[in-house]
Chains A and B, each alone.
Chain A
Amino acid sequence: MATTLKQLDYSVLQQCMHCGMCLPTCPTYVETKRERNSPRGRIALMRSIADGETQVTKSFGEEMYYCLGCLACVTACPAGVNYVELFETARADVERKGVLHTPQRGFWRWLTLEVLFMRPRLLRAVGMGLRWYQRSGVEKVVRGSGLLRLLPEGLRRLEPQTPVMSAVFSNGLIEEVEEPVGVRKYRVALLTGCVQDLAFAEVNRDTADVLLANGCEVVTPSVQPCCGSLHGHNGAPELAMELARRQLDLFEVESLDAIISNAGGCGSHLKHYGPLLKEDARYAERARLWDSKVRDVHEWLAEIGFRVPSAGCGVEEVTYHESCHLTHGQKVVAAPRLVLGSIPGLKVVELPESNWCCGSAGIYNITQPEQSAKLLKRKVEKIAETGVPVVATSNPGCHLQIAAELKADLGNKCKSVTQPVTLLAQAYRNERSGGVVNGEA
């Protein structure tokens, strides 16, 4: 992968014909109405750097981090511009040139990208520590003490929203190999993710259950590396490549029918190991094979014709928020709705602007708290418009972000966030415990 705009295949930049079709779909352009905050404006800036007319400056760096990476522009673009490659290369260039460098930013990047998210065991240990902190009462003491002022501004604001860590992580909930109840039709691997694993390990359990209920043997290595999407999206392509190689080493790709992801953001990145490793002679081919097998869980369920449950899931009404990378990155749009729609007694109410970014966007809510908060507010207002008590989404980032705001938004009738697979898993469970169509779960 190119790490500077000048190395980038120029035709990728040229593909943008500045028609502007992407403008009305871009949350940052719609906010400011300034061309530099639009996809075509950003691409023009990248191109002028590639052309040597302008330099990678601080202002350019800020622009690249103001972009959410939501990829709404990719869906809108008639010319098929590969914005993902442009965006990742631009951010990598910004990092290489160090135009945004401050000691504090450097520290946090190092801690997250190079330490925590490179070491899954350490990440879980930190998660465990965090759980202890949250449960033991120390959290209250620390909040009272003013110690939090040591955190950078963005994190401090988010601190009250820190996800409550799962009691057990996926490895405590899922065996390395699990066999389906009836006939085995497929053999699939389950990717547990890092944020999903730390905050929503049960969603991983639910995903495994749903797969088992549909004739899949499920292989889940207990310690999995981060998929590297965080690194790819934040200008650290070398680390992203390293993580991709580790991932490829961990799975017997040839023997699998599919590799299942249940997190929109991870899945979008996981499907692009091929281009990421295309210059790595040892891994290129395997990466391509890998790409061809990665499926979002809903996509996979729709593809194999999943079994419609005969019981309900205990929820009567739900609305669905589309994670950007599931809908724009992976183009998985109908399948999650199909899953929700299949559950008996569950009414699916369409969410207005369901594919408009909620502002979570990886670590955007930390780096750009203001714009993130505006988008989040817009999102929960739309959720309130539906008048539905439960919203489903399929990405841990969106899940956390929306849940925190709904908790704070007292007037909102919607109080709960869940994921489509969780509801389907619940329906399958209810079948076994006597076929509840609705009511108590």
Chain B
Amino acid sequence: MYEDFLSSIAGVVGADQVLTGDEDLVPYGFDGTAVLKQRPLCVVFPADSLQVSGCVKLAALHAVPVVARGSGTGLSGGSVPVEKSMVLVLTRLDKILEVDERNLTLRAQCGVITKEVDDAAGRFGLFYPPDPGSMKISTIGGNVAENSGGLRGLKYGVTRDYVMGLTVVLPDGRLVELGNKCVKDVAGYSMKDLFIGSEGTLGIITEVLLKLLPKPQARRTMLALYDSMEAAAETVSAIIAAKIIPCTLEFLDRMTVGCVEDYAKIGLPTDVEALLLIETDGHPVAVEDETVRMRDIALKFGAREVKVAVDEAEGARLASARRQAFSALARVKPTTILEDVTVPRSELARMVKFIRLTAERHRLLIGTFGHMGDGNLHPTFLTDERDIEEMHRVELALEEIVEETLAVGGTVTGEHGVGLAKKVFLKRQFSEASYELMREVKRALDPRGLLNPGKIFD
């Protein structure tokens, strides 16, 4: 019954751009999320917006669900196929179309790798601030669809803050253009915002228009080591209270520091309770001034030691402690489940402590690291999916962590999105009416539920 569909899709993209063999489909059955997998009906590689539109139209005609996929690095199951679906891989839409130096914008196709966006900006002395840990692999379309964040989020914000315009293929195949290069634009509803963070459920983003910033002239990095989580959290509050906005304020807990040291041998003491990575950038004079003030604040609030990098190279070395956190943890056990809860910054110390106690209560290994400045925590469960009993305890612990997050006014995801992994929790975070509003929007745009069905909500 799918023969007609497959041959008409081949008519749009070319027969060699449609895959249906077992060996071709299996590797598209998952994304970066642990445990989830499902084989699709076919995998299709369109080359441009028009082909995307053509594919979506045919899918609508044959009632085949469509799952958009960038590089499949998502951590909430967003691009995990649904049964008998067409996976639209967008990595062939990989051209940077324009860098507009006069307006500080960049236009790119959705399949461009995030780092290439930043590199292209760099050639003009500009930069693209959002820097997710996956930037060497993830696509800019995937970043917009997940509204990704990064290490510079505290000062520079997340992907949403840099999207000025989008080209989107709607669920019926129509192509629309939203937004423009105007810094100020209040004409009508802010439609582009609807698609940012929509995880491929409302439309397929084929082009993005991004805002760029001038590169900061200087940067300084330091590491502060603590004997207590509270002291680290107080340092963060004190820095913010001193009206300093560093670009990066990241932390690692004891377990993560231990794993990083084991793996990367940076020379960190393994008996610290918390470690903060602090980075400031901007005008050299301001950077120097802020570096000194933040070091003093850290020491005043109980840092055991503060290492200030003498130059960029040493800064990069210190920052690698944070950059390698996930990797180092992933080596410990066969299955690594990375979570993504976010709380108001005032609740950080309490939350981190709660996670530690939860781990103890359920006899689990959980390493926590994250974006301290943003309140975004990544408790990371180190387990083995074959150990059914332990996996059950993982579920219980996760449940408790999410409940606590919501109790202190937090959110179930800070940057990885809802996808499949978080949809049971989403309902709890929203009131009945606001949850229903989201579903109404989905129904209005995609009445037959063909775009990434079953993601975000059932």
Contact A38:B27 (CB < 8 A) given known A17-B330, A79-B336: yes
- The answer to whether B21 touches A18 (Cβ under 8 A) is no
Shortest CB-to-CB span from A204 to chain B, Å, is: 34
Q: Which residues of A contact B335 (CB under 8 A)?
A: 14, 17
- The answer to whether B23 touches A23 (Cβ under 8 A) is no
Shortest CB-to-CB span from A51 to chain B, Å, is: 10
Q: Mark B23-39, 1 if CB is under 8 A from A, else 0.
A: 11011111110100000
- The answer to whether B27 touches A20 (Cβ under 8 A) is no
- The answer to whether B24 touches A19 (Cβ under 8 A) is no
Q: Which residues of A contact B137 (CB under 8 A)?
A: 20-21, 23-24
Q: Mark A11-55, 1 if CB is under 8 A from B, else 0.
A: 100110111110110000000011110101110110010000110
- Is A178 positioned at the interface, with any CB of B under 8 Å from its CB? no
Interface residues of B in 1-47 (CB under 8 A from A): 19, 21-24, 26-32, 34, 45
- The answer to whether A45 touches B26 (Cβ under 8 A) is yes
- Is B429 positioned at the interface, with any CB of A under 8 Å from its CB? no
With contacts defined as CB atoms under 8 Å apart, how many contacts are there between chain A and chain B in the complex?
Answer: 87
Cα–Cα, bound, A15→B331 (Å): 8
Nearest chain B residue, comparing its CB with the CB of A49: B26
- The answer to whether B336 touches A36 (Cβ under 8 A) is no
Query: Size range of the interface on A?
Result: 20 to 34
Contact A36:B32 (CB < 8 A) given known A11-B384, A20-B71, A24-B136: no
Shortest CB-to-CB span from A79 to chain B, Å, is: 4
- Is A59 positioned at the interface, with any CB of B under 8 Å from its CB? yes
Contact A15:B334 (CB < 8 A) given known A35-B72, A59-B21, A79-B327: yes
- The answer to whether A44 touches B24 (Cβ under 8 A) is no
Q: Mark B393-435, 1 if CB is under 8 A from A, else 0.
A: 0000000000000000000000000000000000000000000
- The answer to whether B26 touches A78 (Cβ under 8 A) is no
- The answer to whether B72 touches A44 (Cβ under 8 A) is no
- The answer to whether B27 touches A23 (Cβ under 8 A) is no
Interface residues of B in 107-166 (CB under 8 A from A): 113, 134, 136-137
- The answer to whether B324 touches A78 (Cβ under 8 A) is yes
Shortest CB-to-CB span from A93 to chain B, Å, is: 14
Cα–Cα, bound, A103→B328 (Å): 47
- The answer to whether A41 touches B331 (Cβ under 8 A) is no
Interface residues of A in 248-289 (CB under 8 A from B): none
Nearest chain B residue, comparing its CB with the CB of A21: B137
Query: Size range of the interface on B?
Result: 35 or more
- Is A112 positioned at the interface, with any CB of B under 8 Å from its CB? no
Cα–Cα, bound, A36→B45 (Å): 14
- The answer to whether A78 touches B27 (Cβ under 8 A) is no
- Is A95 positioned at the interface, with any CB of B under 8 Å from its CB? no
- The answer to whether B336 touches A17 (Cβ under 8 A) is yes
Q: Which residues of B contact A40 (CB under 8 A)?
A: 27
Interface residues of A in 50-74 (CB under 8 A from B): 53-54, 57, 59-60, 63
Cα–Cα, bound, A35→B39 (Å): 13
- Is A132 positioned at the interface, with any CB of B under 8 Å from its CB? no
Shortest CB-to-CB span from A45 to chain B, Å, is: 6
Cα–Cα, bound, A21→B30 (Å): 15
- The answer to whether B23 touches A17 (Cβ under 8 A) is no
Q: Which residues of A contact B45 (CB under 8 A)?
A: 33
Name 20 extra pairs, CB < 8 A, besides A33-B45, A57-B22. A10-B386, A11-B384, A14-B386, A19-B330, A20-B72, A20-B134, A21-B136, A21-B137, A24-B136, A34-B27, A35-B28, A36-B27, A38-B27, A45-B26, A45-B27, A57-B23, A63-B23, A79-B330, A79-B336, A80-B331
* Residues of chain B having any CB pair with chain A under 8 Å: 19, 21-24, 26-32, 34, 45, 71-73, 91-92, 113, 134, 136-137, 263, 324, 326-328, 330-331, 334-336, 384-386
List 19 interface pairs A-B (beta carbons < 8 Å), by A numbering. A11-B334, A15-B334, A17-B32, A17-B335, A20-B71, A20-B72, A20-B134, A23-B71, A24-B113, A33-B92, A34-B24, A36-B24, A38-B27, A54-B22, A57-B22, A59-B21, A59-B23, A60-B23, A80-B330
Ranked 7 nearest A-B pairs via Cβ: A78-B327, A41-B27, A35-B27, A14-B334, A79-B330, A80-B331, A11-B334
